[in-house]
Amino acid sequence: MRNKQKRILFKVIGSICALAAAWLFNYWQGAPLMEAQYLISLPFQSQNQLLLEDRLTNARILELEQRIVELEQQNKQVTELLQKVKPKLQSDLIAPIIGRSVDSWWSQVTLGKGSKDGVKPGFIVLGVGGIVGRITTVTNHTSRVLLISDPGSRVGATVSRSRNLGYLRGKNSQSAIMHFFSKPPNVKKGDLIATSPIGNLYPAGIVIGSVTAINKDKKSTPEAEIKLSAPIDILEWVVIRSFQPKLG
């Protein structure tokens, strides 16, 4: 009998404890349990936060390193341009190529200098290696260049060795075709080609390229293939030089 009363008493006490625990949990809305969960997960949250911060820091370092490389490359290109082109006139301007269309890669480029900088249509554009083109249109802060590699471009040219004259027509590539006025022309592979002394759109004596092939059997006028000396497809900086074309 006494054992039975003890069992009943234990059950009552257990029920009271369970009710008390449930009431406390409901009263605090599980705060102790949530606090315990937070404390358990805190080390993992800190570790995740550190990993996130490390990724952001590494990304920032890579960005800064890339900027340094880019600035070094730009400085190298400008230095090389100054050494090779050697601006002679006070009005010479160094300009970046800021626009280029895939569809007209060999035809035209846009420069980051315009009328506010004194640029006018007809000015010539030089790059490492020689002539690049001439300014055709100008806005306040930009200017457009017709490249000598464009098929519509016509550049008066001469063979530096023999002084034979002709004109150059672009081929949308690093090569161009020179049409000679005389037949047969005194020209051979390796001859250097420069702008003509009687040309209207460019000053005389600027390097254009060199002869890579000759076709003297052309029925109309003899031709020579010219490799352009300025790497027009990869230029990023150029020199704009004042020039008044002889039009009309």
Q: Are residues 121 and 46 in the same domain?
A: no
CATH of the domain at 134: 2.40.10.340
pLDDT score of 41: 60
- 31-85 vs 2-28: helix crossing angle, rounded to 10: 40
Distance between CA atoms of residues 87 and 108, nearest Å: 22
Contact 189, 209 (CB under 8 A): no
pTM: 0.70
pLDDT mean by block of 10 residues, the chain; 248 residues: 50 53 50 56 63 74 73 72 65 90 94 95 93 96 97 94 94 95 89 91 93 80 92 92 82
Q: Which residues contact 141 (CB under 8 A, 6 or more apart)?
A: 112, 113, 114, 116, 117
Q: Which residues contact 8 (CB under 8 A, 6 or more apart)?
A: none
Contact 91, 134 (CB under 8 A): no
Q: Is 218 helix (H, G, I), strand (E, B) or coil?
A: coil
Distance between CA atoms of residues 126 and 134, nearest Å: 9
pLDDT score of 115: 95
| Domain end marker among 28, 51, 86 | 86
Q: Are residues 105 and 170 in the same domain?
A: yes
pLDDT score of 35: 58
Specify the length of the chain in residues. 248
Q: Which residues contact 206 (CB under 8 A, 6 or more apart)?
A: 124, 126, 130, 131, 194, 195
Q: Are residues 132 and 237 in the same domain?
A: yes
Domain hosting 120: range is 90-248
Q: Are residues 34 and 114 in the same domain?
A: no
Distance between CA atoms of residues 245 and 238, nearest Å: 19
Q: Are residues 6 and 68 in the same domain?
A: yes
Q: Are residues 236 and 157 in the same domain?
A: yes
Cα 171–Cα 173–Cα 179 angle in degrees, nearest 5: 35
Domain count for the chain: 2
Tell me which DSSP letter residue 150 carries. S
Q: Are residues 47 and 144 in the same domain?
A: no
Distance between CA atoms of residues 168 and 145, nearest Å: 17
What six digits make up the tokens of 213? Answer: 């092939």
Q: Are residues 71 and 125 in the same domain?
A: no
pLDDT score of 23: 47
Contact 167, 178 (CB under 8 A): yes
Q: Are residues 244 and 182 in the same domain?
A: yes
Q: Are residues 48 and 62 in the same domain?
A: yes
Q: Are residues 165 and 213 in the same domain?
A: yes
